[in-house]
Amino acid sequence: MSWMFLICAGAFEVVGVTGLNMIRQKKSVLTFSVFILGLAASFTFLSLAMQSLPMGTAYAIWTGIGTVGSGLVGILFYEESKSWKRLLFMAMVLSAAVGLKLIG
């Protein structure tokens, strides 16, 4: 169950970061709500995951999911660069997270 909590934490991290980008574009109650609720849910799920996962593993995977997820949201919805180098390094982050899951 801890791994599911960690995946949820990473997904909500992406929601929170997307909310931050939305605030940059337009300040409103909705954009601030997306930001605050996304990060609050992210930290809640991260703390639940850390009850049975090592802190270093949980944090590394949480940030990896957030990094790759935010990068993909940027590519898909905000016309950010789709260069092969960027995609390669995102794949490397994801593979490191999988490696941590396999050994942890």
User: Tokens for 26?
Assistant: 């337009």
pLDDT at residue 19 greater than cutoff 80: yes
Q: 35 or 101, which is more confident?
A: 35
Query: With bands split at pLDDT 50, 70 and 90, how would you rate the model's confidence at 103?
Result: confident
Give CA–CA dist 34/27, Å, rounded: 11
Q: Tell me what the mean pLDDT of segment 13-25 comes to.
A: 97
pLDDT at residue 104 greater than cutoff 90: no
Q: Tell me what the mean pLDDT of segment 44-67 comes to.
A: 95
Q: Over pLDDT 90: what percentage of the chain?
A: 89
Query: Using one digit for the tens of pLDDT, what is the confidence trace for 58-75?
Result: 999 999 999 999 999 999
Angular region, 28: left φ>0, alpha ψ -120 to 50, beta rest: beta
* The pLDDT of residue 3: 93
